[in-house]
Amino acid sequence: MEFGVFILAQQRGYHQTSFEVINNSIEQTVVAEQAGFDTAWYAEHHFNNYSLSPSPLMTIAHAAGKTKTIRLGTAVCILPLYHPARFLAEVGFADTVSNGRLELGVGQGYQEFEFERFGCSIENASEIYNEFLDIIPMGLNQHTFEYKGKHLNIPPSSIAVRCVQKPLPPMWVTSGNPNLLGRAVRDGHNLFVTSLLNGNDAIRTLRGKMEGIASKEGKDLDRDVKFGFLRCGYASDNNAEIDAYLDNCRFQRRISESLKYRRAQSDDGYMVKEIPSETDLSFEQLRKNLPVGSVNQVIDKMLEEISILKPKHIALQTQLGDFDQKTMLKQIELWGSTIIPAIRKELGNREAA
């Protein structure tokens, strides 16, 4: 079982500067490596405080110089917002300066607000995304390539900086579209999934959907498909500390849904208002749904969720809202020293039995 930290780089208010948010993200990466996490993942969003991570590949290039062993992943690059030739060149560069530690997560995007400001149409996102998936292996493997599609056209071109990993870095796909996940399975890519802030019933439903997608492509989910699970989790005996983490989890969902469903409100055109939603869950429900509580409670709940979903990777959301940085760094260390080893030991015992 692999474990990663998912770093959203959020700004909950102007009491957080962009300088602090970005540097906290890098500090979490360094501490995650020291704690023994396998991967650090970076989001991509634009033009508001939901995430101050405009270029995960740039973040990876910087983090590569601050770390030595931890793998560095994009979660995800929003492909329709890129020019494919520049994207390929930057992938090659990021994999090179990280000495082959790049994990390449890609997606089609979902926030129309972002697409409009890049002059892109979200209605074409799936078609453009699929053309990108044609282009990526060509551009990263062929000395010279060209492509003529409905949306993307590249004359004979050669990418100068080649990837260290051959034939290309591991690719991860996230999408709510079963057809796009099906293509990922056919192409042999890894998948990223989430049940958001929901509990075991949602995880069982997610497992069923994943099995259906794999089966439709003639694959066995456990044998043929590697997939990761994005999850919120927090271990502490301090209830106020847990509530602070859950409050930031709920903030993240409120802002994401506001942007997705175009109901975001702002006084200044940037800082999105946090407005309670019909989909909000109480702290009591969140405590029931999520792996939060004492160390032993978190370990037991994580093992329960793993037994249902059977992922190969868990990405823990460590950077949400304005949660205290020093407290989160201690949490990352706690997962590395205690929680992850206990989970791996129990999983090893189950396999041996």
295 CB neighbour count, 10 Å cutoff: 15
**pLDDT tens digit sequence for 301-316:** 999 999 999 999 999 9
SS3 labels along the chain? CEEEEEECCCCCCCCCCHHHHHHHHHHHHHHHHHHCCCEEEECCCCCCCCCCCCCHHHHHHHHHHHCCCCEEEEEEEEHHHCCHHHHHHHHHHHHHHCCCCEEEEEECCCCHHHHHHCCCCHHHHHHHHHHHHHHHHHHHHCCCEEEECCCCEEEEECCCCCCCCCCCCCEEECCCCHHHHHHHHHHCCEEEEECCCCCHHHHHHHHHHHHHHHHHCCCCHHHHCCEEEEECCEECCCHHHHHHHHHHHHHHHHHHHHHHCCCCCECCCCCECCCCCCCCCCHHHHHHHCCEECHHHHHHHHHHHHHHHCCCEEEEEEECCCCCHHHHHHHHHHHHHHHHHHHHHHHHHHHHC
Mean per-residue pLDDT, 284-291: 98
pTM, whole model, 2 decimals? 0.97
**Cβ contact 71:103 at 8 Å:** yes
**pLDDT tens digit sequence for 208-243:** 999 999 999 999 999 999 999 999 999 999 999 999
**Of 42, 43, 44, 40, nearest in space to 31 by CA:** 40
**Of 37, 26, 10, nearest in space to 315 by CA:** 37
Q: CATH assignment of 2-352?
A: 3.20.20.30
113 CB neighbour count, 10 Å cutoff: 18
**pLDDT tens digit sequence for 26-41:** 999 999 999 999 999 9
The pLDDT of residue 277: 86
**pLDDT tens digit sequence for 191-214:** 999 999 999 999 999 999 999 999
Q: What CA–CA distances, in Å, run from 277 to 3, 233, 255?
A: 31, 22, 10
Measured distance CA(63)–CA(330) in Å, rounded: 20
- Looking at the chain, the whole-number percentage of residues with pLDDT higher than 90 is 96
Measured distance CA(164)–CA(207) in Å, rounded: 34
The rounded mean pLDDT for the chain is 97
Look at the block and give the residue holding tokens 């978190």: 298
Peptide bond into 164 cis (omega under 30): no
**pLDDT tens digit sequence for 130-179:** 999 999 999 999 999 999 999 999 999 999 999 999 999 999 999 989 99
Measured distance CA(60)–CA(96) in Å, rounded: 11
**pLDDT tens digit sequence for 84-107:** 999 999 999 999 999 999 999 999
Mean per-residue pLDDT, 246-274: 93
Query: Which pair of structure tokens corresponds to residue 85?
Result: 């030739």
Spell out the domain ranges in the chain. Answer: 2-352
Confidence tier at 279 by pLDDT (50, 70, 90): confident
**Cβ contact 91:117 at 8 Å:** no
Distance from chain centroid for Cα 337:
23
Q: Following CA atoms 98, 175, 7, 328 in sequence, which dihedral angle do they give, to the nearest 10 degrees? A: -130
Cα dihedral across residues 323, 10, 4, 178: positive or negative: positive
Look at the block and give the residue holding tokens 């209605």: 123
